[in-house]
Amino acid sequence: MDKPFNKKIETMPRKDLKEIQLKNLKKTVKNVNDNVPFYNKKFKEFKITPDDIKTLDDIRKLPLTTKNDLRDNAPFGMMATSLENCNELHASSGTTGIPITTCYTQNDIDVWSEVMARCLSMSGLTKKDIFQNPIPYGTFTGAFGFHYGAQKVGALVIPTGKGQSERQLKLMDYYGTTFISGVASYAMRLSQVAQDMDINLKKLKVRNGLFGAEMFTPGLKKRIMDAWNMDVHDIYGLTEMCGPGVSTDCDQHDGLHLWEDHFLIECLDPKTLESVELEEEGEIVLTTLTKEGMPLLRYRTRDIAKIYDQVVCECGRTHVKHTTIKGRSDDMLIIRGTNIYPGQIESVLMKNQEVGGNWRMILTTENNVDVLKVEVESKTIMSQVESMNLEESLKNNIKSVIVFTPRIEILPPKGIPKTGLKAKRVIDERKRNEDE
Ligand code: DLL
């Protein structure tokens, strides 16, 4: 059974937790009203003052914040304190626009280390572990969050950083690494490289892994567990909150505990922006409760999940749980009139033992009709007959989930070109075809 890093807070009675939340919500609202012109203007527009926040439900009176608001005020317009009081900057990659930038005060770094230490301990990390961190150290929040948290737990951190999969595997073997972190699809890439190098992953000492940063279906999680013979946990987070460390699943592997003393979660219908019921799917909206550098009110994450209606978990933690992230609302595709999340396709693929670690969807238009092709890497090199059989079975299985029949192309292992840090699952060429 995993041990809480901070038992007092992690198992605190919910009544006390809510008191802390209300106190810190009031403080945050006053802080942004006094120090962030964007919020001060919004409060005037909404005709509210910080004194209107008397209960946690009053959060609904507050304005929502969107990624565009952050972009309009980039890079430092949303800061609640001067840069002089900050000592670290992180930013999203900015591949889809202006990078989302956030600066941390020392207290923000301390809080980040604390929540990461809780997530890592929940995934089994102890001071006895040798923790290898194969995430690029840079403006991406991933590597530093894991690094600070693992050091706080007291593990020995090996900051291997970016890529170089062969070197990562050799170092795991050489140093006897017991715990690894990373972007979810990278663990699969490593297992593929291990196969090419004739390394038996099960003979390495790695016994735990904590992964996230992108769509992470239960099917992919199980795949990684089986390939490495290790326990795998899912970690969620985003640059706008702190980076990784917002939530992680405990040993029950049934939902991710979100640290409610630092973040306040709501789940809204993305169309009406009204709250959905517990256990109903919606967009996760988060408010920071202790952030000093860039506090955010009701930030629309675009991530789709459900909040569990469960007060105390079997693990003893009292912090609320949400389901794994199903996808982003902006990832949802409408193909031939059907709403499809890439995660639905991944769930089917990962159940098939002949399927390798990588796949992607390519959408085009032919005679005004959407065409979906799913490219799938096989686990091992296949004969033509084996490949045709796999194609047929995937066609039928995917059809049963998305209603129409996709085209399937089976590619050899590593047949899909590598993308950046996070896997690129969807290539939508439909618009371009229409314009031609
Ligand atoms: O990806 C922070 C992170 C690093 C989390 C390492 C976990 C591990 P961003 O680059 O700002 O930050 O991307 C945040 O990634 O809104 C989700 O859409 C997605 N995401 C993050 N974790 C998960 C997860 C980092 N466990 C965006 N499951 C978020 C599904 C995730 N999606």
pLDDT tens figures, 39-63: 999 999 999 999 999 999 999 999 9
Closest CA to 111 of 224, 1, 243: 243
Is the CB of 182 within 6 Å of ligand 1? Answer: no
Is the CB of 422 within 6 Å of ligand 1? Answer: no
C-alpha span between 406 and 396 (Å, rounded): 9
Answer for the pair 149, 123: CB distance below 8 angstroms, yes or no: no
Is the CB of 142 within 6 Å of ligand 1? Answer: yes
Nearest Cα residue to atom 9 of ligand 1 = 238
C-alpha span between 17 and 261 (Å, rounded): 6
Residue type, 172: M
Closest CA to 20 of 391, 230, 318: 318
Is the CB of 423 within 6 Å of ligand 1? Answer: no
Answer for the pair 291, 108: CB distance below 8 angstroms, yes or no: yes
Whether the predicted pLDDT of 150 surpasses 70:
yes
Whether the predicted pLDDT of 140 surpasses 80:
yes
* pLDDT per residue as tens digits for the range 195-223: 889 999 999 999 999 999 998 999 999 99
Nearest Cα residue to atom 10 of ligand 1 = 92
Exposed, middle or buried by CB within 10 Å (0-12, 13-18, 19+), for 374? buried
pLDDT band at 337 (very low <50, low <70, confident <90, very high): confident
| Bridge partners of residue 409, in order along the sequence | 375
At residue 433, the pLDDT reads 44
Domains of the chain and any CATH numbers: 1-329 (3.40.50.12780), 333-428 (3.30.300.30)
Query: Which of the given ranges, 27-31, 400-404, 423-427, has the highest pLDDT on average?
Result: 27-31
Whether the predicted pLDDT of 434 surpasses 60:
no
At residue 329, the pLDDT reads 86
Residue type, 39: Y
Is the CB of 212 within 6 Å of ligand 1? Answer: yes
How far is ligand 1, taken at its centre, from the CA of residue 166, in Å?
Answer: 25
How far is ligand 1, taken at its centre, from the CA of residue 212, in Å?
Answer: 6
Strand positions, DSSP E, 140-296:
156-158, 179-183, 208-212, 231-238, 243-249, 256-258, 263-268, 281-288
Whether the predicted pLDDT of 387 surpasses 50:
yes
Is the CB of 237 within 6 Å of ligand 1? Answer: yes
Whether the predicted pLDDT of 94 surpasses 80:
no
At residue 431, the pLDDT reads 67
Q: Which of 19-23, 192-196, 384-388, 431-435 has the lowest mean pLDDT?
A: 431-435
Is the CB of 213 within 6 Å of ligand 1? Answer: yes
Is the CB of 325 within 6 Å of ligand 1? Answer: yes
Is the CB of 258 within 6 Å of ligand 1? Answer: no
Index of the ligand 1 atom closest to the CA of residue 328: 18
Is the CB of 141 within 6 Å of ligand 1? Answer: yes
Distances (CA, A) of 149 to 103, 152, 288: 18, 5, 19
Mean pLDDT of 125-130: 98
At residue 95, the pLDDT reads 62
Computed over every residue of the chain, the mean pLDDT equals: 94
Is the CB of 185 within 6 Å of ligand 1? Answer: no
Whether the predicted pLDDT of 426 surpasses 60:
yes
Nearest Cα residue to atom 27 of ligand 1 = 238
C-alpha span between 254 and 235 (Å, rounded): 13
At residue 436, the pLDDT reads 36
How far is ligand 1, taken at its centre, from the CA of residue 34, in Å?
Answer: 30
How far is ligand 1, taken at its centre, from the CA of residue 109, in Å?
Answer: 18
Site to substitute for ligand 1 among 236, 249, 306, 347, most atoms within 8 A of C-beta:
236
* pLDDT per residue as tens digits for the range 12-35: 999 999 999 999 999 999 999 999
Exposed, middle or buried by CB within 10 Å (0-12, 13-18, 19+), for 51? exposed
Mean pLDDT of 361-390: 94
At residue 292, the pLDDT reads 98
Nearest Cα residue to atom 32 of ligand 1 = 214
Nearest Cα residue to atom 21 of ligand 1 = 213
Mean pLDDT of 79-108: 91
Mean pLDDT of 235-239: 97
Percent of the chain whose pLDDT exceeds 90? 85
Mean pLDDT of 225-240: 96
